[in-house]
Amino acid sequence: MRFDTVTIKDIAKALNFSTSTVSRALRGSYEISEETKKIVLEYAEKINYRPNPVALSLKERRSRAIGVVVSEIANNFFSQAINGIESIAYNRGYHVIITQSHESEEREKVNVMHHASRSVDGLLISLSSGTVDLSYLKDLYEKGLPIVFFDRITDEINTHKVTANNYLGAFQATEHLIYQGFKKIAHLTSAPYLSITKERLQGYKEALEKHNIPFNEALVRHCNHGGMIADEVEEAVTSLFKSKTKPDAIFTAGDRITTVCFKILKDMKPKRDLGFAGFTNTKVGELFDPPMTVVRQPAFQIGQSATELLIQMIESKRPVTEFETKILDTELILRESSMKKEKE
């Protein structure tokens, strides 16, 4: 099945002009007589002519499309970030092509390569938790493909980056739990390579330190698939409660980890005064039982900033050499899940 469209050639033939005249008339070139312009435009309108963007892409070597690679769109943070990306891109005349890596390095690579060869004008990427080797990205970047990292960023490539203040978000959440009187705060987080993991772990550690609570490795668990695999989270939670130092509170880092962990805890029915706080952008945390204390990232704004920076790079005449790393503040939303019930 094919799909027939009207081309400049059709118009030219029908009107007995050359294709170049038609082309110029359509783009309102000053060298074409009003008369001709009118005839062409009216006819084009009548037969519903649309320029073929594929041909334009080939000619201009640009597509006015931005490629996006995230781990999962079924993740509140990412779907909100994508809305931010779209809001800017749309206004600037760019289209957005979204692909998912499902936390797999291989899948991520396939997606990136596809974007590159399908000539998107630039790439927005949040690295998958499985990604270790960035050399292919580096290659593309050095060949001139504009790339902006958001959320899960990397030191290995020198370009614009936009992320939340993961350090501070984690610090505040941990400190809040400490103020509530919790002493053995476990930390459930994603794969250790990820920037967000490191930053959040750091915030957690420093909050403990500030309050003279010794950091205990045994209270930290990594879920390398970022909560995508429930068993992994369950395993982590179970092992925490089986270990010598049973936690009296849990601080989770990562949208999926947070909700999955909350669910597991609910099923486990631990003693009612377990403290809980986690990074998540869900809009329904207050509906939970108990209402959940969350660290909320400015996902929409992160998407917007990253897109602005990317379009700036794309449209820059000369190679960009000065880069910025934008760090946006998170918001700690206090609810019952992190409140200490019984005074000791």
Cβ neighbours of residue 5 under 8 Å, at least 6 residues apart?
Answer: 50, 52
- Number of C-beta neighbours around residue 140 at 10 A: 19
Residue 143 makes contact with DNA by CB under 7 A: no
Q: Which does 27 bind (CB under 5 to 8 A by kind): a copy of itself, DNA, none?
A: DNA
Return the DSSP state at 232: H
Residue 4 makes contact with a copy of itself by CB under 8 A: yes
In the complex, least distance from residue 104 CB atom to a copy of itself, rounded to whole angstroms: 12
Residue 319 makes contact with a copy of itself by CB under 8 A: yes
Residues in contact with a copy of itself, counted by CB under 8 A, come to a total of: 61
Residue from 28, 35, 50, 342 binding a copy of itself (CB under 8 A): 50
| Cα three-residue angle 245-249-250, rounded to 5 degrees | 100
Structure tokens at 85: 């990306």
In the complex, least distance from residue 256 CB atom to a copy of itself, rounded to whole angstroms: 9
Query: Do the beta carbons of residue 129 and residue 226 sit within 8 Å?
Result: yes
18 vs 325 by CB, closer to DNA: 18
**Site residues (CB under 7 A) for DNA, limited to 51-110:** 51-52, 55-56, 58-59, 61
Residue 80 makes contact with a copy of itself by CB under 8 A: yes
Cβ neighbours of residue 17 under 8 Å, at least 6 residues apart?
Answer: 11, 25, 36, 40
- Number of C-beta neighbours around residue 107 at 10 A: 17
Tokens 């290995």: give the residue: 156
Q: Which does 9 bind (CB under 5 to 8 A by kind): DNA, a copy of itself, none?
A: DNA
The H or E element containing residue 199 is: helix 195-210
171 vs 262 by CB, closer to a copy of itself: 262
Sign of the torsion angle spanned by Cα atoms 232, 112, 139, 93: negative
Structure tokens at 161: 């980056």
**Site residues (CB under 8 A) for a copy of itself, limited to 254-283:** 259, 262-263, 266, 282-283
In the complex, least distance from residue 293 CB atom to a copy of itself, rounded to whole angstroms: 14
Strand order of the sheet with strand 220-222? 220-222, 185-189, 249-252, 275-279, 293-296, 331-333
Comparing CA positions, the residue from 158, 209, 160, 208 lying closest to residue 186 is: 208
Is 216 strand, coil or helix?
A: coil
Report CA-CA distances (Å) from 138 to 56, 144, 149, 156.
28, 10, 12, 8
133 vs 209 by CB, closer to a copy of itself: 133
**Site residues (CB under 7 A) for DNA, limited to 3-62:** 5, 7-9, 16-21, 23-27, 30-33, 35-36, 50-52, 55-56, 58-59, 61
Residues that bind a copy of itself (CB under 8 A): 1-5, 48, 50-55, 57-58, 61-63, 73-74, 76, 79-80, 82-83, 86, 95-100, 113-114, 116-119, 139-140, 143-146, 259, 262-263, 266, 282-284, 286-291, 313-314, 316, 319-320
Residues that bind DNA (CB under 7 A): 5, 7-9, 16-21, 23-27, 30-33, 35-36, 50-52, 55-56, 58-59, 61
